[in-house]
Amino acid sequence: MSVLFHHLRVHQVFGANTDVGKTLLTAALARASSLTGKAVYYLKPVSTGPLQDADDEYIKRFAGPKASSIQSRCLFRYSDPVSPHLAAQREHGAEEAPVSSGSSCSAHILTASVPKLSIPSDGTLVNAIRSHIRDCARATRVHAHMYVETAGGVHSPTLSGSTQIDAYRPLFLPTILIGDHKLGGISATISSYESLLVRGYIVDAVMVFREEYYRNWEYLRSYFAERDINVAVVDPPPSKLENPARNLSSTDKYYRNIVPESQQGPVFDLLNHLDNRHATRIEELSTMPQRTLDHIWWPFVQHGLVREEKDVNVIDSASGDEFSIFNGHRVQTPADSTSSLLEPQFDGSASWWTQALGHAHPALTMAAARAAGRYGHVMFPQGSHLPALRLAERLVKSGPGKGWASRAFISDNGSTGMEVALKMALRAFSVREREHWSNKESTGEKPKNLGILGLKGSYHGDTIGAMDACEDSGVYTCEWHDAKGYWFDPPTIGIRNDKMVVSLPPAIAALTESGEVEINEGRIQEIYDAESRLDSNLADVYRTFIQDMLIKITSQGDLKLAALVLEPVVMGAGGMIFVDPLFQRVLVDSVRTSPCFSRTVRKEGSWSGLPVIFDEVFTGLYRLGMESTTEVLGVKPDISVNAKILTGGLVPLAVTLTNESIFAAFYGEDKAIALLHGHSYTAYPVGCEVANETLKIIEKMAQGDAWAQAKAAWQVGEDQPPRVWSFWDPAFIGALSKCEAVGEVMTMGTVLALKIAGDSQGYQSHSAQKLLEGLRVAAKDDDASFGINYRTLGNVAYFMLSLNTPADKVRHIEDRIWRTLRPAEV
C-alpha cells in the first residue's frame, strides 16, 4: 500500500501532543518548500472543528508567499472540535451526511467516498489518501513536496476508532514528529517517538519550539542526536492578538522571520535534510539489488539462476499480507516517471509458511518488546520464566499436546525441534531394547544402525540429523546426508475434474480387488474422517500391505527401525503431497501393535512398538484449518513438533512436545544420560512471549466466528465432524481442477496446491514457475491490484494465506489465478 516517487517527496507530520504547533510548523515547512521553487501539496486527511479555524485554510493563508503554488486539501471534515472518532460518531450517530457538506472543502472529498450514514473505515481513509498522493504525483511534472498532517497526537483515534499510527501504517510514509515544548513535553515527545518506532515508521526529523524556560528542545536535541535523528528548533510564535488585522500582521512577520526569503535558518536546514533523506532512501533502494547479489548467500537459491538486479525482491516494508517492494528497475520509461517506486505484492507463500496474522501485527511487536524489556534473554537450564512456562503449559494442557503430552522442550526452529524429537525417540527405543537384552542377561546383541520408518516425500528440516530421517531423493542433500530408515510410497489425495480421488501406488493397487490406481472414496469430509474408514476394504488392504512390509524390513538387513516419523496429512516441502489419512492412521496403529516390535509393545500410557513422531511444524496450529492433525487421524503421537505459525511469523521458535514415557528414558542420576541438547537462546523470552500472544489471538479467532463464512462454504458446522474446510472457495477449487493445464488440485485450511498437468519431473521442474509467472506483477491499470509472490516446488505451485486474510483478498487472488490459467475465457 506504500507509495514513493522520485519527484514528489511526501512526509507525514505527527504531533507529540495536541497544541504543539503541528499546523504552524507544517505551514513553515510548506512555505520553505514553496520558496525553494517546489510545488507544494498539503493534505489534512481528517479535520475536526469550525471551518474558519481549519488547518487547510490556515496553510493557504500563511504558507505563502507563493500561495498559488500550494494546494491545500482535507478529505473528511467534521465540525465538532473533538477527537475524529468521536466527531464521526456524533455526526453519523445524528444521521447527518457522513461528510459535512457546505464547507469549502467538500469539493475535495473524493467521489469514491463512503456510503452515507456510515463511519469511513481505515481502508477507505487510507485508500483516499493514497489516491490523492497518486493524483498529485501524476499532476505535477516539477519537483514537489507533500505534507500529510495528522490530527492530535500519534495515537489519537481516527474515524473508525483505531489510532492513527495503526490506521496509516499501510501507507508507510516517512514521518516528521512535532515535539512538545511544554512542561512534561520531553516525555510526550519521546513516548510518541517510541510508538512510531514500534510500528516501524521512519522518523526523519523532530521539530520543536525553542521555549526557554523548560528548555525541552535542549534535552530533546541531545536525546535524538544519540539516535541519529535531526531536531529542528524553531522560535515560538508570538502571542495571539485580539485585533484580527494586527494578529495577521504579527503572524506574517513571524513567518517571514522563521522562513526568510534568504532561505537561511533551521527550517531550511531541515528542508535540505528531508530532501537528502528522500534521495538517500531512493538511492539505497536502487543499490540494494546489486549489493544483495554481491554479499548475500540466499537459502535454497541457485545463484547462477538469479543474477540480475530485477530478480531481487527488495522489500521496503510489509503490512497485513503484503510486501511493499521496490520496482525501480521497471519504472524507468519516461511515461512511467510519475509511477510509484513501491508497489504491493501479496505474500503468497506466507513467507515460507510462517505467517498467520499478517506482517508487523502490532500485538506481536508489543509482545516481543515487552519480553525484551523485562528479561532480554535469560539462560534456561534449571531456570524458569513466565513466557516459557506459560507457553509450555498452554501447549501441553490446552494446545496440540492436550490429552497426551506432559512436557515441552523448546528450541530454535523446526529443524532443531525435529533433531530433538529424533534424539528423544532413538534414545527411548534404545533404552527399552537394552532393557530387553539385560532382562535376558545377554549383552551380545545391541541395537545398531537405528533407522526411522516414514513416507517417501517427507522432509523434516535442513540440519543433517533431520535430513537423515528422510529418503535421499537426490534433491535436498549434502555430502554427509546418510538416509537412515525405510520410507513407504503412500497413497495420496487430490481433486481431479472436480472429483476427490485417492491415488494408490502400484504396489498397493495390486492388492485391491479392482487393481485401479485411482479410486473414489467419497466426499472430502468422508475421506478425512479416518476413524470411520477403519472398517473399509481399503483399510484392510493398507493393513496387509504395511504388515507384510514391516515383516520384510525387520527380518532382513542390518537396519533396525527405531521410530515412526510422519508429517501428518500433508508433506509440505516434498511437494504439498496430501497423504491419504487412512493410510497414516493404519500405519500408526500397525506400528504400535505389530509383532515385529513385540519387545517394545507396552501398555496404556506409554509408547508402544516404536515411538511415533508427528512433525507438525508446517501442518499444525490451524495452517490446515485445525489445531492439530491428530483431529483428522484420530490418534495421538508420542512426540510432536510445532514451529512456524507458533510465533505468528515474527521470530524463530520450536517446541517439541512429548509424553512422560519418553522423558523417563533420560531420567536418572547420571548427567551423561540426560538430553544433552540446548541452544544458547533456548526458550528466549521474546520468542516465547510472541508465541503466547500468537496462540491467544488464534484461539480467539478459532473460538469466535472469524472463519464462519469459509467454514460454511465447505458445509462445516460447529464442533462436529466432518471438520475439513478451506479459506479457498470450493466452487473455485472445483473449476480449477477442470483446467486443462492443471493435473490435480488440493486445498485445506490456508493452503491451495496445484499440480501442473503432464509433468512428472518433480522438484527439478520449472513448469509451475513458468505457467503462473504473470501473477507476479500487478494489473497495470488497476490501483487496487497487486503482484503475487508465490513459490513453487517443481511441478507444484502453492498459495498460502494467513489466518486472517480478508475474504475479498482471497477472492481477488482466486480471480487472478483463474485469469492466468484460463486467459481465453476471461
**Residues 663 to 702 in contact with a second copy, rule: CB under 8 A:** 663, 666-682, 684, 686-687
CB distance 784 to 748 below 8 Å = no
User: According to CB under 8 A, which residues from 473 to 512 bind a second copy?
Assistant: 474-480, 482, 484
Q: Is position 156 an interface residue for a second copy (rule: CB under 8 A)?
A: yes
Residue 199 CA from chain centroid, whole number:
15
Candidate residues 628, 658, 692, 694; the one interacting with a second copy per rule CB under 8 A? 658
Among residues 14, 28, 42, which one has the least CA distance to residue 105? 42
Q: Is position 327 an interface residue for a second copy (rule: CB under 8 A)?
A: no
User: According to CB under 8 A, which residues from 188 to 217 bind a second copy?
Assistant: 188-192, 194-195, 197-201, 213-216
Q: Are strands 742-748 and 751-756 parallel, antiparallel or unpaired?
A: antiparallel
CB distance 354 to 372 below 8 Å = no
Candidate residues 68, 239, 243, 302; the one interacting with a second copy per rule CB under 8 A? 302
Q: Where are the alpha helices (DSSP H) in 67-183?
A: 84-93, 122-139, 164-167
| Residues contacting a second copy: total by CB under 8 A | 171
Among residues 696, 173, 611, 299, which one has the least CA distance to residue 430? 611
Q: Are strands 612-615 and 560-566 parallel, antiparallel or unpaired?
A: parallel
Cβ nearer to a second copy, comparing 119 with 530:
119
Candidate residues 383, 403, 717, 758; the one interacting with a second copy per rule CB under 8 A? 383
Contacts of residue 563, defined as CB under 8 A and 6 or more positions apart, other chains included, come to 422, 425, 426, 429, 452, 453, 610, 611, 612, 613
Q: Is position 187 an interface residue for a second copy (rule: CB under 8 A)?
A: yes
Q: Is position 305 an interface residue for a second copy (rule: CB under 8 A)?
A: yes
Taking CB under 8 A as the rule, which mask of x and - marks residues 705-744 in contact with a second copy? ----------------------------------------
Candidate residues 465, 609, 611, 634; the one interacting with a second copy per rule CB under 8 A? 465
Q: Is position 606 an interface residue for a second copy (rule: CB under 8 A)?
A: no
Instruction: Give burial (CB, 10 Å; 0-12/13-18/19+) of 744.
Output: buried
CB of 252 to a second copy, least distance (A): 28
**Options 31-39, 181-189, 703-711, 741-749: segment touching a second copy (CB under 8 A):** 181-189
User: According to CB under 8 A, which residues from 262 to 301 bind a second copy?
Assistant: 284, 288-289, 291-292, 294-301
CB of 202 to a second copy, least distance (A): 8
168 to 46, 57, 174, 822: CA distances (angstroms): 12, 23, 11, 37
Candidate residues 7, 143, 377, 822; the one interacting with a second copy per rule CB under 8 A? 377
15 to 179, 304, 497, 534, 811: CA distances (angstroms): 7, 49, 58, 65, 39
Candidate residues 354, 584, 767, 792; the one interacting with a second copy per rule CB under 8 A? 354
Give the single-character DSSP code of 397: I
Cβ nearer to a second copy, comparing 336 with 393:
393
CB distance 487 to 458 below 8 Å = yes
Query: Computed from CA positions of residues 632, 633, 637, 640, in that sequence, does the dihedral angle turn out positive or negative?
Result: negative
Q: Is position 167 an interface residue for a second copy (rule: CB under 8 A)?
A: no
CB distance 323 to 347 below 8 Å = yes
Q: Is position 134 an interface residue for a second copy (rule: CB under 8 A)?
A: no
CB neighbours of residue 112 within 10 Å:
9
Contacts of residue 773, defined as CB under 8 A and 6 or more positions apart, other chains included, come to none
In this structure, which amino acid lies at residue 737? S
Cβ nearer to a second copy, comparing 189 with 737:
189
User: According to CB under 8 A, which residues from 431 to 450 bind a second copy?
Assistant: 447, 450
Q: Is position 127 an interface residue for a second copy (rule: CB under 8 A)?
A: no
d(C-alpha 609, C-alpha 628), whole Å? 23
User: According to CB under 8 A, which residues from 411 to 430 bind a second copy?
Assistant: 411-416, 419, 422-423, 426-427, 430
Instruction: Give burial (CB, 10 Å; 0-12/13-18/19+) of 561.
Output: buried
**Options 468-476, 488-496, 704-712, 779-787: segment touching a second copy (CB under 8 A):** 468-476
The crossing angle, in degrees rounded to 10, of helices 362-374 and 685-703 is: 150
Taking CB under 8 A as the rule, which mask of x and - marks residues 9-28 in contact with a second copy? ------x-xxx---------
User: According to CB under 8 A, which residues from 738 to 767 bind a second copy?
Assistant: 763-764
User: According to CB under 8 A, which residues from 218 to 257 bind a second copy?
Assistant: 219
Cβ nearer to a second copy, comparing 352 with 818:
352
CB of 617 to a second copy, least distance (A): 8
CB of 659 to a second copy, least distance (A): 11
d(C-alpha 593, C-alpha 600), whole Å? 10
CB of 407 to a second copy, least distance (A): 5
CB of 656 to a second copy, least distance (A): 8
Contacts of residue 55, defined as CB under 8 A and 6 or more positions apart, other chains included, come to 23, 26, 44, 47, 74, 149
Cβ nearer to a second copy, comparing 360 with 504:
360
User: According to CB under 8 A, which residues from 386 to 405 bind a second copy?
Assistant: 386, 388-389, 392-393, 396
CB of 163 to a second copy, least distance (A): 6
Instruction: Give burial (CB, 10 Å; 0-12/13-18/19+) of 822.
Output: middle
User: According to CB under 8 A, which residues from 774 to 803 bind a second copy?
Assistant: 789
Cβ nearer to a second copy, comparing 690 with 724:
690
What would the grid cell of residue 123 be?
Answer: 481502508
User: According to CB under 8 A, which residues from 49 to 88 bind a second copy?
Assistant: 82-83, 85-86
Q: Is position 362 an interface residue for a second copy (rule: CB under 8 A)?
A: yes
